[in-house]
Structure 1
Amino acid sequence: MKSDILEQTVLESLLPELEADGYQVIREPRRPIVPPFLGSYLPDLIALREDGNLAIEVVSKADPESRKLDDIARLFDGQKGWKFRIYWASKSDIEEPLRAQSINDIEEALGQAQTLVAESHTSAGFLLSWAIFEAIARRILADRFGRPQTPGRLIEIMANQGILTHSEAHRLRSLASFRNRFIHGELDVGVTADEAGEFLQILQSLMTIASHPA
């Protein structure tokens, strides 16, 4: 089903939630990736995870094709490992783009994160560092990061743009796994002061780029 701007906005908002829940998300999947039992139907996105996959369709009530959803849902009857989800889009789902923060505000937050880590409040400093990371990314690439982002997407796009070095991206991917587990309630996952300090050093390097955009 063809998505309009409203439906695309809802799709964008789903990505961080699904990726944070451990899914590999593929937007507008092509035929080789879609399971054969779906026939000619192509979902808006599929989300893959070891314990089960999702096929997701976002529709507005004004969509003339929405009446076909019951037929699509029946395709999943008896199919192990797959579930079908429908998200209804409305104008209330459209959020204002997130504002790029000033360099001074980001520097102040970075100083707070450094103080937290130095005073052994490592977990708090580590989580604040992820907020700072997204703020820096939005400052550098405002056209790409107007909406909330997952750590993984931030890392991959910034690495592809040459903003993160190969070694920085590799390290952040590792740290992102700690962040995701901790923020979803695995409180004993633990991040060392050295690991938090590495993250702060990467943020400091990125601040140089954010302060002097190309």
Structure 2
Amino acid sequence: MMATSTANIERERLLKLAEEYREKGYEISFHPNSEDLPDFLKSYRPDLIVRRGEESVVIAVKSRASLNSPSSTYLRNLAQAVAENPGWRFELVMTNSEDAVELPKAEDSFQEHEIELGLQVAKQLVTQHLESAMLYSWSLVEATLRIVAQKEELSLQRLDPLYLVKQLTVEGVISKSEYQLLMNARSLRDSIAHGFKTTQLTQKSVCELIEVTEQLLKGLHTGDGAG
């Protein structure tokens, strides 16, 4: 039952994405057959490919429930294959957990292995589509901040990132320079998310955000002693 429910959620999200791309003038290809795929994709089964002019996008939709270890490896390999071909980019879309109507809880957030996979995808996106890389990287930062806050036993009554960044800076978990970097990144992310152009977005700014996220994850396991 749960597997069916997860599959339905993923399919609904896929259909919605396809409609959004169609409205933008893209040609849509659902679950394309191998004979319709370029050579570098023949060993994969993409959920959706959209094309417009010289741009081709491979889209994968996954829910947390279906993101197991083999799936993570498959997606990492797929992202790598796409990144190596000019004119192509990879987009990983995560759906909400089963009770999408409920307010999100900390335990519904991405877990460490999901964030680590996401960071690999984000690194590929940096060279493929900078705005998508920033939006996705920021979502991974937010999830990481919640995990770090939980470990530091901070109150998670508020899950908004601004609160978490400030609290973790006060606690000395985040340095002043990291605080400034995160605030700048948040500003860039907000501009992009609300449809504004920003000339300040660079590959360096996204790579620095990814690096901070990796450092925060690494910090979860330093000085852990027995545990």
After TM superposition, the score normalised by the length of structure 2 is 0.47
State the structure with bigger RCO (CA 8 A, min sep 6), 1 or 2: 1
After TM superposition, the score normalised by the length of structure 1 is 0.49
Bigger Rg, which one? 1
Please identify which structure carries the higher helix content. Answer: 2
